[in-house]
Each structure stands twice: as structure tokens, then as C-alpha cells.
Amino acid sequence: MCLAVPMKVLEVKGTQGTLEVGGVIRTADLSLVEPISVGHYVIVHAGFAISTMNEDEAQKTLALFKELENAAPQEGASDE
């Protein structure tokens, strides 16, 4: 399964961006969503920012991801 994740833009250098979500920092290609600035949120899939998103929607989406994470069975947990 593939998942696209909202990430905050920390730095832009040409068509490359340094992005952050949940304390994890990654780089991604921003050429599909130019122009983009520090502080914007983008949806990232397979190393490419594929669209932009406002901060409110990004935070709502990340909260839903957190709910899914919390609801999922923990690895190594027993049903007993």
C-alpha cells in the first residue's frame, strides 16, 4: 500500500525541499508544486511533493494518521 503524507517545508533549494513530519526530516522534489515557500505544507509521495495543503487541513490529516496508529494492534502484542 502506498501512502502520501503531509509534510511542512523547512528549506527550499532550487527544486529540492527539506521537509518535516513528526520530527522526521526528509528531502523531496518540489518541482511539481512550484512555487513553494518555507512554512507551507505539501503532500509527499515517493519522494515527490504532489500537491499543497493548508496548515489546518495538514494538522487534521496528521491527527487522523495518529488515531489510526493508536488503533492498530501493536507489533508483538498478544490477543490473550
Domains, the chain, ordered by start = 5-66 (2.30.30.140)
- How does DSSP classify residue 34? -
Tell me the one-letter amino acid at 28: A
Residue-wise pLDDT tens digits, 21-42: 989 999 999 999 979 999 999 9
Rounding to the nearest 10 degrees, give the CA dihedral for residues 50, 3, 9, 24: -160
Distance CA 14, CA 79 (A): 50
Higher-confidence residue of 32 and 65: namely 32
pLDDT mean over 64-72: 86
3-state secondary structure of 69: helix
4 contacts 43 by C-beta, under 8 angstroms: yes
Residue 43 is placed in which grid cell?
503532500
Enclosing H/E stretch for 24? strand 24-29
